[in-house]
Structure 1
Amino acid sequence: MAHSSTRSFEITATPQQVMAAIAAVERLPEWSSAHKSVTVETTHPDGRPNRVRMTVSIIGITDEQVVDYTWNGDDSMSWTLVESTQQNQQDGSYTLAAVEGGTRADFSLTIDPKIPVPGFLVRRAEKTAIETAAKGLTRFVEKNFV
């Protein structure tokens, strides 16, 4: 069964700075402790990642994933799971909007584990992913892209 979560948060940076940080997917392990390794396999013509292979470990479960990224300038990006050892589905996105003093980021994530996982563990994994997206990305952007 698929589970979805969303969260909005603000970052003291321009949408271009935030999207530059998001596009630096090979640096995900610097701000997301769940990401153990990330390899960009192919890029779009503009140089942004297209297909990415990664090892992710969350709530004690390690997953080897391949995801495809889609970019809409500095306004939004999304990814879709292509291969996974632990999931049937994963779709995520960031949508950015300029606000006074920075950028509002809307983060969305849908996951569907292959094996039955107790609801409380799925909720804990979702909470960890959402918190990492908000706090980890914010620190990473403000430290490296502002």
Structure 2
Amino acid sequence: MAALLIVVLAGAELAMFPPMAVTESRELVIEATPKEILDVLFDLESLPQWSSIHRNVEILERDDQGRPTKSRQEVKIVGVGDEQVLNYSVHDDGVSWTLVSAKQQRAQQGRYTLTPDGDSTRVRFDLTVDLLVPLPGFLVRRGAKGVMDTATRGLRDRVLAVKGRAG
């Protein structure tokens, strides 16, 4: 999930600036129901199959409906690796997460908001990451693009692939 979870969104354009939080957002339409999308988002163990950022995901806790509420993830993007623990919250219109601990990040908040749109669903992905150390601007831009692409287009591709297998 997004968890997509993101080691590279440093808050500095140049390494000489202090780190700060960076926020990115993106929207897209997926030809699937909100439930079909949530099923993919809750299948955290499959993230390494469709997200090049994720190396390993372990579910630490689940709610009474079997949805993940806490996970440990090994991620790597633009050469920077991290191990992060995330807490998840389920909302009427999607899912969000917050960082519990990490080696490279001070904070992280992410959210997928799902809005039915006819036979499809409008998906908004919001992510704020605050790294502990600054990175050069070109790495920040490259990492941010990769994260947002995986979190949106990668999600869409995975949802449609899973939906195709179920149909």
Structure with a larger share of its residues in strand = 1
Interval containing the TM-score (normalised by the shorter chain): over 0.9
Instruction: Return the TM-score normalized by structure 2.
Output: 0.84
Output one character per residue of 1:36-74: Cα deviation in whole Å (capped at 9) or x when no partner.
Answer: 00000101121100110010000100000000010114x
Larger radius of gyration: 2
Which residue is 2:37 aligned to?
Answer: 18
Matches within 5 A, 1:1-146: 1-73=20-92, 75-146=93-164
Unaligned 5+ residue runs, structure 2? 1-19
How many residues were matched structurally?
Answer: 145
Taking the aligned partners of 1:119 and 1:108, their CA distance within structure 2 comes to 20
Q: Indicate the percent of aligned positions where both proteins have the same amino acid.
A: 41
Output one character per residue of 1:57-112: Cα deviation in whole Å (capped at 9) or x when no partner.
Answer: 00100000000010114x21001010101100111000001112311100001111
Instruction: Return the TM-score normalized by structure 1.
Output: 0.95
Write out the 4+ residue segments of structure 1 that deviate beyond 2 Å after TM superposition.
none
Taking the aligned partners of 1:101 and 1:46, their CA distance within structure 2 comes to 26
Q: RMSD across aligned C-alpha pairs, in angstroms?
A: 1.0
Greater shift in the superposed pair: 16-25 or 115-124: 115-124
Output one character per residue of 1:8-41: Cα deviation in whole Å (capped at 9) or x when no partner.
Answer: 0011101110111111111111111000000001
